[in-house]
Amino acid sequence: MTRKSRRIIVFICVVIFLVAAPPIILYSLGYRIDIKHLTIVATGGIYVRTAPTGVSITIDSTNTEKTGLLSDAVFVQDLVPGQHSVSITKDGYFDYKKNLSVKENEVTKLEHITLIKKQTPVATLETNASNFFVAPDKNTILLTQTKGSVINFETITANDLQKRQLSSAIKNSSIKDVIWSADSKKALLLMTNGGYSLLDLSLNTIASFPSLANAKQPSFNPANPGQIYYIKNNNLFINTQTAPLLKNVAAYQVSSQDITWLSYDGFLYASSLDGTTNIKITTAAFQVKKANTYKLISTAGMNFLQENTALYLLNKKTQAFELYKNPVTTVKTSPDGQKIAVTDDHHVFITILQGPSAVEKRQLTSFAEPIQNFYWLNSDYLILQLQNTIVISEIDYRDTVNTVDLSSGMTVNNIPIAIKNPQIFFNSQDRKLYFLNQNSFFVSDPLTP
C-alpha cells in the first residue's frame, strides 16, 4: 500500500471519528435528536410506582416493563421532552392510562397508583335495614330496622361481623341523624320531629332527652361522654347545668381543651370548657345572619366556616374569613393530612396543602349523577357515592382523571347486584366498603392491597 493510500485511509478515519464521536458522546450523556423540531435536546424520564405487584407498565406503546415482588416501580429514561403516554394493565383489573409531560433533565413521577379490581365480591349482612350509622371507632355499626311505626336497633362489629339485637326501640318517629360520643358507647339520636333520644350501648338502653328538644348542633364533650353541649335560643348550654355557658353563639366546636365559637357579633372566639375565659381569634367581623345556618370545621390545621352552602377559610395572616368555595356539600381531609377534598352536587375539588396554608385548588372531575357522599380510599383516591353508582376516582388531575365504576362489578355469590340510591361507608381500618342498598346491608372484600 502506498504512502498516499495510507494517508487517505487515516484521513477518512479521522473524519469518521470527528463526525461520529460527538453524537456518541451526546447520546451517552442522555441527549437525543428531536425529529419533530430537528434539534438536540436533553432527555428526561418517567418513574411509575403502582399497586398491586405484577402489573405491566407501557410507555409510548413501545417500552413495556413489569413490576415484581422485589420492586413495585419502573423507571424509564432517555425520553425526549414532550408528551408521553403511560398505560398500566393487569388481568382482572381496570386499566389505567395517562399522558404525562417530560422535561429536559427531569424525572416525571407517577406514584401511588392503585389498580382497582373489575369484580368486587360482597356479602349480605342484613336484609331488612332502613339505615346505618358508624361510630368513631369504625368498628361499631348501628343499624335501624323499621317495622310499621317501630324502629328496632341492631349493632354489627366490623372486626368480626358479630350482630347484637338491642332491646330498646323507638315508636312513632324516625331518625334524621346520629351524634356519637368519642368513646363510641353513646349515641344521640336526632328525630325528625326535632326531639332527641340517648342510646347507651353499654347499658342497652334508650331514653328521650326532653331538654334538648329543638336544640341545635348538639355534641358530646370529647373528654366526658356524660356532658352534651348544644345551642338553644342562640346560647350555648351544657346538659349538666341550667345557665348558658356562652351567649350569642351561632356555631361552635368543642375539643378536649377548649371551645371555638362564632358569635353573632361576627367574631370567632376561643373559650375554656366552662366558658369563663374568652379570647378573640379573628380581627375582622364576619356578617352573621340569624336566618342562616353555620358550622365550624377544623381540619389539617385549617379553620373553615360554612354558611348554608358557602365555605369560608380563615386566613391566618389577616385573621379574617375569606370565601373558599360556593356551593359546598361535603369537606374531608386525606389520611395523610396533606389534601382537602370538597364536593358540590356534581363536582370534586382538590386542595393541596403546604404547611398550614392552602396552596392550590383544582377541579378534579365532574359527574352527571349527583354526588351524595364520599370517602378517602387512601391519600390518593376517593370513593364516591353517586345517586345510583359507586365510583372510585384518583386525585391526580394531570391529563384525564381515571375513574372506575366499582358498582358495575359488585356480586353476591357471583350474581351481579343492581345499585340504587346506595348509602356507603368506607372503613379505612379493614379497607372494606359497607353499604346499604335497597334495604339490604352489605360488606365488600378489601378494596385495596
Helix (H, G, I), strand (E, B) or coil at 167: strand
On whether residue 435 sits in a domain, the answer given is yes
- For the domain that residue 419 is a member of, what is the CATH number? 2.20.25
Single residue among 52, 82, 114 that ends a domain in this structure: 114
Is the residue at 414 inside a domain? Answer: yes
Of 114, 136, 156, the residue at which a domain comes to its end is 114
Hey, what's the cell of 281? Answer: 381569634
**Do the domain assignments include residue 84?**
yes
pLDDT of residue 26: 43
- Nine-digit cell string for 376: 378517602
Instruction: Give the model's pLDDT for residue 148.
Output: 83
Domain final residue, candidates 65, 88, 114:
114
pTM for the whole structure: 0.88
Say what the pLDDT of residue 10 is: 56
CB 434 within 8 A of CB 423: no
The whole-angstrom separation of Cα 9 and Cα 5 is 6
Q: CB of 107 within 8 A of CB of 46? A: yes
Residue type, 278: N
pLDDT tens for each residue of the chain, 449 residues long? 676 666 666 556 655 655 544 555 444 445 555 556 555 667 889 999 999 999 999 999 887 888 987 788 999 988 888 899 999 999 999 999 999 999 988 899 999 999 999 999 999 999 999 999 999 999 999 999 988 889 999 999 999 999 999 988 888 778 999 999 999 999 999 988 888 999 999 999 999 899 898 899 999 999 999 999 999 999 999 999 999 999 999 999 999 889 999 999 999 999 999 888 889 999 999 999 999 999 999 888 889 999 999 999 999 889 999 999 999 999 999 999 889 999 999 999 999 886 555 556 788 889 999 999 999 999 999 999 999 999 999 999 899 999 999 999 999 999 999 999 999 999 999 999 999 999 999 999 999 98
In this structure, which amino acid lies at residue 21?
Answer: A
Does 130 reside within a domain? no
- Looking up residue 98, the CATH number of its domain turns out to be 2.60.40.10
The DSSP-derived string for 231-295 is EETTEEEETT-SS-SEESEEEEEE-SSEEEEEETTS-EEEEETTS--EEE--SS-----TTS-EE
85 part of a folded domain: yes
Residue 67 structural domain:
43-114
Phi and psi torsions of 10, nearest 5°: -60, -40
* Cα distance between residue 378 and residue 322, in whole Å: 29
Q: Within a 10 A sphere around the Cβ of 326, how many other Cβ atoms?
A: 13
In the chain, the amino acid numbered 149 is S
Element (H, E) at 58: strand 56-59
- Write down the pLDDT at residue 19: 52
What is the per-residue pLDDT for 256? 86
Cβ atoms of residues 98 and 400 within 8 Å: yes
Total domains in the fold of the chain: 2
**Residue 211 included in any domain:** no
Q: Residue 379 falls within a domain, yes or no?
A: yes
Q: Which amino acid is at 145?
A: Q
Separation between Cα atoms, residue 338 and residue 135, nearest integer Å: 24
Q: pLDDT value at position 6?
A: 60
CA–CA distance, 262 with 81 (Å, rounded to integer): 52
Whether residue 354 is contained in a domain is answered as yes
